[in-house]
Structure 1
Amino acid sequence: MNRLTTLFLNKQKNILSVYFTAGFPKLNDTTEILRELQKQDVDLVEIGIPFSDPMADGPVIQQSSQTALNNGMSIKVLFEQLKDIRKSIKIPLIMMGYLNPIMQYGFEAFCKSCKETGIDGLIIPDLPFNEYVSEFKPIADKYGISIVMLITPQTSEERIRLIDKQTNSFIYMVSSASTTGAQSNFNDDKQAYFRRIHDMQLRNPLLIGFGISNAKTLQTAFTNASGGIIGSQFIKELQQSPNNIASAVSSLRTTLEL
């Protein structure tokens, strides 16, 4: 078992996952953000690899990605920053990035670096499922890296069950087919979608992401899945407190009423 599977074995509900863009607000903030998120009881962290064309991301994360690139962030720099992270960080860590920069690094080399660094999982939003199964999963399995697949309201039940069969940590349930970004609440259609997937009784736990920005949307995620993923809202908090990471994390917890 790795840290991801251990987390979901020990905690089935109210899991809080937080995303941030590596290299934002400043290039060398990565380790401090991770330490503060762990200190303030976040269960799981997604480290975003900045990319110039992040098609699944809304304007807030797009802007943070561009700032990080301008600051000089790259995959090589990120792995260098994370090389000793497991001396202080015990919670599961996932990297989230697009296929292009990962392939430029080399997928097997990337997985090897993840293993050496202590990264537990990987989310690649633009990785086609069939290519994942045939080409990427065997390499990731070799290095003990869990690849997390995304589903949307448009994903067929057949595909969802295939994803459930071919993955081994959790399924990222995207709240809508649009890009990331804050929503004040989830409408009836989205809540019906959450219930439909919940009622499928999948083998893997579910985390809901895209649009969680306040206590109401987070509680909806907690009710309908094992937990929720916060992204854009935390980026906003970092924008408002770029020189005080602890304050940004505390503000996020206040916004979410945790």
Structure 2
Amino acid sequence: MSRITDLFRKKNQRVLNVYCTAGYPRLNSTMEVMKALQDNGADMIELGMPYSDPLADGPVIQASGSKALENGMSISTLFGQLKELRTTIRLPVLLMGYMNPVLQYGFEKFCAAASAVGIDGLILPDLPIYEFETEYGPVIKKYGLDFVFLITPETFPERIAKVDSLSSGFLYAVSSSSTTGKDKDLNGQRAYFEKLHEMRLRNPVLVGFGIKDKNTFETTCKYTNGAIIGTAYIKALENAKDINAATAAFLKPILGA
């Protein structure tokens, strides 16, 4: 059983997955940020691999990625930082990024390295279903990694059922068809969330894009298994002198701790 599956088996509701950018705010911040998230109540970590052309990311996460690239972050550097990942981090960890740098690194080499350091799953939004089924999915499975597909309010039920059958770990339900970081009326997406609930999907559902505080987190948790927070946390880290203190200050009001 993967760490992600085990998490949802133990805690099926109010799961909080927090996105952070590898190499931000400083090159060597990666493990410090992840440890702070673990120590302050996050249930899962989505570790973003910075890329120069991140199609789904809003300006805040794009800026964090640009800063990380300026700091010297690369996939090779990241795997070097993650060598001791499982000596300190017990939470499920996913790598989120885009196909271009992964293919440049070498897809199977990437999956092997991710598995070797203890990564649990991948989110690659620009990997099409057909290529996943025919070429990349078997490689991902070979190395014991979960793979998470994204769906949107415009995704047809047939496609939702299809990606649910292919995904493992959870489904990433984008709250609206836009980039990260924009304000969303989550209550206005009630019909979308209820549709997902009624479909009795095989995978748990986490909602991302627009989750930023206690109110948006609670709204999301009424209808799904939990939420993904990214942009708001990146903002909290931007000028942080003490990463753990900034993380605690950010998560405490959301979780009601």
User: Structures share a fold, TM > 0.5?
Assistant: yes
Closer, same or farther: CA 97–246 of 1 in aligned 2, 3 Å: same
**Counterpart residue number, 1:27:** 27
- Whether the 8 Å CA contact 2:22–2:50 is kept in 1: the answer is yes
**Counterpart residue number, 1:249:** 247
**Counterpart residue number, 2:88:** 88
**Counterpart residue number, 2:59:** 59
- Whether the 8 Å CA contact 1:206–1:227 is kept in 2: the answer is yes
Q: Take 2:255 and 2:112, find their aligned partners in 1: how far apart are those partners?
A: 39
TM (normalized to structure 2)? 0.97
- Whether the 8 Å CA contact 1:170–1:207 is kept in 2: the answer is yes
Q: Take 1:191 and 1:57, find their aligned partners in 2: how far apart are those partners?
A: 24
Cα shift at 1:224: 1.0
**Aligned counterparts, 1:215-230, within 5 A:** 215-230=214-229
Closer, same or farther: CA 195–99 of 1 in aligned 2, 3 Å: same
Cα shift at 1:102: 0.5
- Whether the 8 Å CA contact 1:15–1:227 is kept in 2: the answer is yes
**Counterpart residue number, 2:159:** 159
Q: Take 1:249 and 1:196, find their aligned partners in 2: how far apart are those partners?
A: 34
**Counterpart residue number, 2:6:** 6
RMSD: 1.1
Cα shift at 1:187: 4.2
Q: Take 1:219 and 1:129, find their aligned partners in 2: how far apart are those partners?
A: 32
**Counterpart residue number, 1:69:** 69
Cα shift at 1:251: 2.1
Q: Take 2:36 and 2:68, find their aligned partners in 1: how far apart are those partners?
A: 19
Aligned residues: 256
Closer, same or farther: CA 110–253 of 1 in aligned 2, 3 Å: same
**Counterpart residue number, 1:204:** 203
- Whether the 8 Å CA contact 2:57–2:180 is kept in 1: the answer is yes
Cα shift at 1:195: 1.1
Q: Take 2:184 and 2:8, find their aligned partners in 1: how far apart are those partners?
A: 28
Question: What amino acid is aligned across from residue 3 of structure 2 in structure 1?
Answer: R
Question: What amino acid is aligned across from residue 222 of structure 1 in structure 2?
Answer: C
Q: Take 1:192 and 1:184, find their aligned partners in 2: how far apart are those partners?
A: 14
Name structure 2 gaps, 5 residues minimum.
Answer: none
Q: Take 2:76 and 2:239, find their aligned partners in 1: how far apart are those partners?
A: 28
TM (normalized to structure 1)? 0.96
Question: What amino acid is aligned across from residue 222 of structure 2 in structure 1?
Answer: T
Moved over 6 A (4+): none
**Aligned counterparts, 1:86-235, within 5 A:** 86-183=86-183, 185-188=185-188, 190-235=189-234
Question: What amino acid is aligned across from residue 231 of structure 1 in structure 2?
Answer: G
- Whether the 8 Å CA contact 1:234–1:248 is kept in 2: the answer is no
- Identity in percent: 48
Question: Which has the larger displacement, 246-255 or 196-205?
Answer: 246-255
1:129-172 Cα shifts (integer Å, max 9, x gaps): 11111111100000001110000011110011011111221000
Cα shift at 1:255: 4.7
1:217-241 Cα shifts (integer Å, max 9, x gaps): 1111111111100000000000131
- Whether the 8 Å CA contact 2:152–2:173 is kept in 1: the answer is yes
- Whether the 8 Å CA contact 2:41–2:251 is kept in 1: the answer is no
